[in-house]
Structures are given as structure tokens and as C-alpha cells.
């Protein structure tokens, strides 16, 4: 290996270790890694200035086709844009953050949770089942972090009212959010990275990962029902109606009815734009901008708080993505990812079934131990290189990566951001979820669902 390849690996590995260490926010090691990668490219890589400019991809912003008309179903056959900062991912996630903040301020998420709880008459076992399906459904369109933020909070509120242990339900909701998120392009950050890298559409994901995601989610519901039904049924309030108790009404969650109506309408519009963006030609980045603009407009016109919504934008996460993409670009420019692709190709023996299985399980177990976002960003150019050298269609490999990173992230409390958020909310409210208790239930379920995905991928694509 060349000196620049060795240094690129060291920088990337150090960034990963710092992220896993968790003592500082992950955007700090990502930005430090990006700065060191930029210096490496400028000083050691041939034509360094040109390569760094390609990694930064700043000209994308003035390319009209990048915003509109390029990201159609036909464009997906042209192959991925190799390397560098994936601005589509960053802009889309930023815009969705603004929209979700506006929906939260209007009480949308708490309203839908309480509505579902009331429909099942505040019974614990039906709450477990319906909240799992609700978590999976919402995570198809909204970041699973946001889904868990509100679901876990409402679950704890109901647990105190009905006197049941919320930990089993929160673990099940986490699993459902990651599994449901694998069904669509907008469901989880790894899918957004994969989709924008390869120019795939919302419907591409839905038609390829959607079916197995919901089969896996249904199996997971059955598994968690069997695991938790006895413990939850021991609750004195389970299945009983106490007329003296005040059960929260869904309408109590709505803080501003006009803003609530506007936020709901915006959410529906954005979903329609995502589903049809292959036909309209709108890029996901532009859809993110539309979501943010409509949310801020609604806040200004119907009595919201636009400043509060803007403050809710998680700039640190966006900076993390920026640093991460630069570091991955360094691995690509120096040829490290090409060598990794060649290694996977030799290991699989040019057999698509073996390659799918290898990528799926590698992604699943890696994502159970490390953040699945940087892993997905690293593997996208590897898949592109593997497809080019071995003659594989990159779509089945991309679906394997998406399912592995999303569902595999369920394996441990740190495997995905939704896990960290859900367990942190529970601990803050006095319900600690240790590694032992979490892994006892989530890890076997993850292995079973990933195994189902393996069978599905081989039967459909190999």
C-alpha cells in the first residue's frame, strides 16, 4: 500500500474510534478528520487541488440539473456520481429537520400517539403492537430519531398512567423504527445516502426493500409479543378500565390548531413529492428545501415561532455529515475503497449470491457495533467499484447494504441513532436500559429478521 493510502486509513480509523468513544459529539472528530484528509490530498495525492475540489463538489449548487431533472428513474441507469460530499443528503436531512420541528411544535406526533392509544382503549398489549406498527410506518417518511423522541416520551407517559414497565415497549419501538425505516429512501439516513449516491428513487426502495421490511416488521411484532406479553400482563392496570383516571385526549396535544392543520398538510405534500420525484424530476435536496420553506412560511403566517423552529435545526449533525463525506472521499481518491471492492470480489468469487450475503451480514454486524451512517457512506463507493469490476448489477448490492445497515443497527443500544435517543429518554425518566437487557431481546430478533432478508435477496436477485 502507498503512504497516502496508509495515512487515509489511519485518519478514517481514528475518526471512527473517536465517534465510538462517545465522549465528544461526533461532528468534532468528523471535522478534524476532514481537515486532515484535505491536507493529505493536497500534499500527497497527484493533482491534489483538483481531487480535493471534486471531493467538495461545490459546483453542484450551480448545476440546474442537480436540483431538477436529473434524478429520474432513467438517470439511475447512468451510474452513481463517485466521491465527495453528498450535498443532496445533507440538504434533504436539514430540510426535514425543519419540517419535523414545526410538526412537533404543533403537537402532531403526540397527537397521533395518543390517538392510537385511545383507539386501543389504553390497553398495554395492544399499545405494544400498535405502537410498533406506528413506529415502523412513521419511520418510512420521518427520521427514526424524531419518531423515537416522541414515541418514547408518550410511552413513558402512558406507562406511568397505566402502571406498566415502559422498557419492553421502548425496545420494541426502536426495533420497529429501524426496520420500518429500511422500507423507503427517506426512512433512515443510510438509505438517503445510498439513494442519493446511486440516483435511486423513493419507489425504487419501496418496491425492493419495502416488502421484506414489512415482512420483517410483522415477524418482529410477533417475536416481541411472545417475549414481553407475560411481563406486560402482570400490570395491575392492564385490560382494566378505571373510570376515575383521566386518560389524555389526543386534542390535548394540539398547541395551535391552525399550525397543526398547516403542518399536517405540509407533511402530506412532502410525502407526495417524495413518492413522485422520479416523475417530476425534483431532487431530494430540492424537496428538502421545499419542506423547510413551507414550514417556515406556515410558522410566520399562522402564529408559529420560526426562530424556535430554526434553532431546532441540528447543525452539529449536518457538520458531522460534511466531515464524514470528506473522509470517505479521501479513501476513494487514494484508492483504498477500490482495493476493498477488489477484496470483496475475490472473496465472493464473482458469485452474486455470495456477494449479497457477505455485504448483508457484514453491514448488519458492523452496524450493530458502530454508527451505521459512516458505514453506509463508506460502502457506497465500494459497491460501485464492485459492480464495475465484477459485472454485478449494483441495485441488489445496494438493497443488501440498506437492509443490513438499517436492521443490523438494532443489534445493540448504539447501533443506530434511534437506539441512542430511545434509551437516553428512558434513562432520563428513570428507566435504565442496560446492554444486557437490550441485547437479550433485540439481538436475536435482529439475527432472525436479517436472516429473512438474506433468503429474500437470494431468491429475488441471485
Among 37-51, 56-70, 154-168, the least confident range: 56-70
Please report, rounded to a whole number, the percentage of residues in the chain having pLDDT higher than 70: 94
Confidence of residue 390 (pLDDT cuts 50, 70, 90): confident
Q: Which pLDDT belongs to residue 433?
A: 87
Q: Which pLDDT belongs to residue 133?
A: 96
Residue whose C-alpha is closest to residue 193's, from 337, 340, 383: 383
Is 80 exceeded by the pLDDT of residue 77? Answer: no
Mean pLDDT of all residues in 16-30: 83
CB atoms within 10 A of CB 12: 21
Domain parsing of the chain, residue ranges: 3-461
**Residue spans of alpha helices (H) in 22-143:** 27-44, 48-56, 64-67, 87-106, 108-119, 124-138
Q: Which pLDDT belongs to residue 294?
A: 94
Query: When comparing pLDDT for 246 and 288, which is higher?
Result: 288
Is 80 exceeded by the pLDDT of residue 109? Answer: yes
Is 50 exceeded by the pLDDT of residue 82? Answer: no
Mean pLDDT of all residues in 191-197: 89
Spatial distance between the Cα atoms of 102 and 295, rounded to a whole number of angstroms: 6
From the number of C-beta atoms within 10 Å of its C-beta (0-12, 13-18, 19+), residue 296 rates as: middle
Strand partners, 68: 282
CB atoms within 10 A of CB 23: 6
Strand partners, 282: 68
Confidence of residue 80 (pLDDT cuts 50, 70, 90): very low
Mean pLDDT of all residues in 390-398: 89
Q: Which pLDDT belongs to residue 75?
A: 44
397-419 residue pLDDT tens = 999 999 999 999 899 887 887 88
Is 60 exceeded by the pLDDT of residue 145? Answer: yes
Is 90 exceeded by the pLDDT of residue 239? Answer: no
Spatial distance between the Cα atoms of 396 and 42, rounded to a whole number of angstroms: 36
Cα 148 to the chain's mean position, in Å? 12
Confidence of residue 209 (pLDDT cuts 50, 70, 90): very high
CA end-to-end distance (rounded Å), the chain: 33
Is 90 exceeded by the pLDDT of residue 34? Answer: yes
Query: When comparing pLDDT for 378 and 211, which is higher?
Result: 211
Cβ–Cβ < 8 Å for 142, 185: no
Mean pLDDT of all residues in 249-275: 90
270-321 residue pLDDT tens = 999 988 887 888 888 899 999 999 999 998 888 767 888 887 778 888 898 8
Confidence of residue 357 (pLDDT cuts 50, 70, 90): very high
Cell readout for 126 is: 395492544
Mean pLDDT of all residues in 9-37: 88
Q: Which pLDDT belongs to residue 70?
A: 53
**Mean pLDDT for all residues in the chain:** 86
Mean pLDDT of all residues in 53-61: 88
Q: Which pLDDT belongs to residue 74?
A: 43
Is 70 exceeded by the pLDDT of residue 238? Answer: no
From the number of C-beta atoms within 10 Å of its C-beta (0-12, 13-18, 19+), residue 245 rates as: exposed
Check residue 83 and give left, alpha or beta (phi > 0: left; psi -120 to 50: alpha): left
Spatial distance between the Cα atoms of 387 and 394, rounded to a whole number of angstroms: 5
Among 103-107, 211-215, 252-256, 367-371, the least confident range: 367-371
Confidence of residue 69 (pLDDT cuts 50, 70, 90): low
Q: Which pLDDT belongs to residue 459?
A: 95
Is 60 exceeded by the pLDDT of residue 432? Answer: yes
Spatial distance between the Cα atoms of 135 and 353, rounded to a whole number of angstroms: 31
Query: CB-based contacts of 38: which residues, under 8 Å, 6+ apart?
Result: 52, 55, 326, 330
Q: Which pLDDT belongs to residue 71?
A: 47
Give the helix/strand (H/E) hosting 381: helix 372-390
DSSP string, 325-369: HHHHHHHHHTTHHHHHHHHHHHHHTT-HHHHHHHHHHHHHHHHHH
Instruction: Give me the residue label for grid cell 466531515.
Output: 323
Cβ–Cβ < 8 Å for 393, 79: no
Per-residue exposure over 105-125, b if at least 16 CB sit within 10 Å of its own CB, e if not: bbbbbbbbbbebbeeeebbbb
Q: Which pLDDT belongs to residue 235?
A: 61
Mean pLDDT of all residues in 37-56: 91
Report pTM.
Answer: 0.82
Cell readout for 197 is: 449516491
Confidence of residue 20 (pLDDT cuts 50, 70, 90): confident
73-77, 82-86, 282-286, 395-399, range with greatest mean pLDDT: 395-399
Q: Which pLDDT belongs to residue 182?
A: 93
Amino acid at each position: 500500500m502507498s503512504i497516502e493510502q496508509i495515512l487515509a486509513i489511519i485518519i478514517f480509523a481514528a475518526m471512527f474510534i473517536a465517534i465510538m468513544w462517545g465522549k465528544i459529539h461526533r461532528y468534532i472528530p468528523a471535522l478534524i478528520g476532514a481537515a486532515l484528509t484535505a491536507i493529505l490530498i493536497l500534499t500527497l495525492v497527484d493533482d491534489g487541488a483538483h481531487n480535493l475540489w471534486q471531493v467538495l463538489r461545490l459546483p453542484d449548487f450551480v448545476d440546474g440539473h442537480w436540483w431538477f431533472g436529473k434524478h429520474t428513474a432513467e438517470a439511475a441507469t447512468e451510474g452513481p456520481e463517485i466521491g465527495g460530499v453528498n450535498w443532496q443528503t445533507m440538504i434533504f436531512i436539514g430540510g426535514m429537520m425543519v419540517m419535523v420541528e414545526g410538526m412537533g411544535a404543533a403537537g402532531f406526533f403526540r397527537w397521533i400517539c395518543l390517538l392510537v392509544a385511545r383507539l386501543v382503549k389504553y390497553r398495554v398489549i395492544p399499545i405494544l403492537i400498535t405502537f410498533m406498527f406506528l413506529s415502523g410506518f412513521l419511520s418510512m417518511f420521518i427520521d427514526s430519531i424524531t419518531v423515537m423522541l416522541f414515541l418514547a416520551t408518550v410511552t413513558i407517559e402512558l406507562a406511568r398512567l397505566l402502571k406498566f414497565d415502559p422498557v419492553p415497549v421502548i425496545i420494541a419501538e426502536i426495533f420497529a423504527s429501524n426496520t420500518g425505516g429500511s422500507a423507503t429512501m427517506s426512512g433512515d439516513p443510510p438509505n438517503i445516502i445510498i439513494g442519493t449516491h446511486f440516483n435511486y428513487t423513493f419507489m425504487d426502495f419501496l418496491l425492493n426493500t419495502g416488502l421484506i421490511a414489512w415482512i420483517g416488521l410483522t415477524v418482529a411484532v410477533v417475536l416481541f409479543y411472545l417475549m414481553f406479553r407475560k411481563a406486560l400482563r402482570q400490570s395491575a392496570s392492564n385490560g382494566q378500565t378505571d373510570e376515575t383516571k383521566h386518560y389524555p385526549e389526543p386534542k390535548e396535544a394540539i398547541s395551535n390548531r391552525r399550525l397543526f392543520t398547516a403542518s399536517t398538510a405540509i407533511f402530506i405534500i412532502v410525502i407526495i413529492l417524495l413518492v413522485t420525484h422520479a416523475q417530476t424530476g425534483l431532487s431530494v435536496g430540492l424537496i428538502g428545501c421545499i419542506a423547510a420553506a413551507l414550514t417556515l412560511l406556515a410558522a410566520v403566517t399562522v402564529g408559529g415561532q420560526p426562530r424556535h423552529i430554526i434553532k431546532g435545526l441540528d447543525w452539529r449533525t449536518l457538520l458531522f455529515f460534511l466531515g464524514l463525506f470528506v473522509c470517505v472521499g479521501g479513501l476513494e481518491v487514494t484508492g483504498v475503497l477500490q482495493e476493498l471492492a477488489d477484496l470483496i470480489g475475490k472473496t465472493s468469487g464473482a458469485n452474486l449470491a455470495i456477494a449479497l450475503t457477505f455485504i448483508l451480514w457484514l453491514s448488519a454486524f458492523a452496524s450493530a457495533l458502530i454508527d451505521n451512517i459512516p458505514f453506509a457512506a463508506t460502502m457506497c463507493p465500494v459497491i460501485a467499484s464492485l459492480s464495475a469490476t465484477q459485472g454485478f448489477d449494483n441495485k441488489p448490492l445496494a438493497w443488501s447494504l440498506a437492509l443490513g445497515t438499517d436492521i443490523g443497527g438494532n443489534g445493540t443500544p448504539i447501533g443506530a441513532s434511534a437506539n441512542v435517543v430511545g434509551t437516553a429518554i428512558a434513562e432520563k425518566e428513570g428507566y435504565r436500559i442496560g446492554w444486557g437487557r437490550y441485547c437479550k431481546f433485540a439481538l436475536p430478533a435482529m439475527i432472525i429478521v436479517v436472516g429473512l432478508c438474506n433468503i429474500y435477496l437470494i431468491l429475488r436477485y441471485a
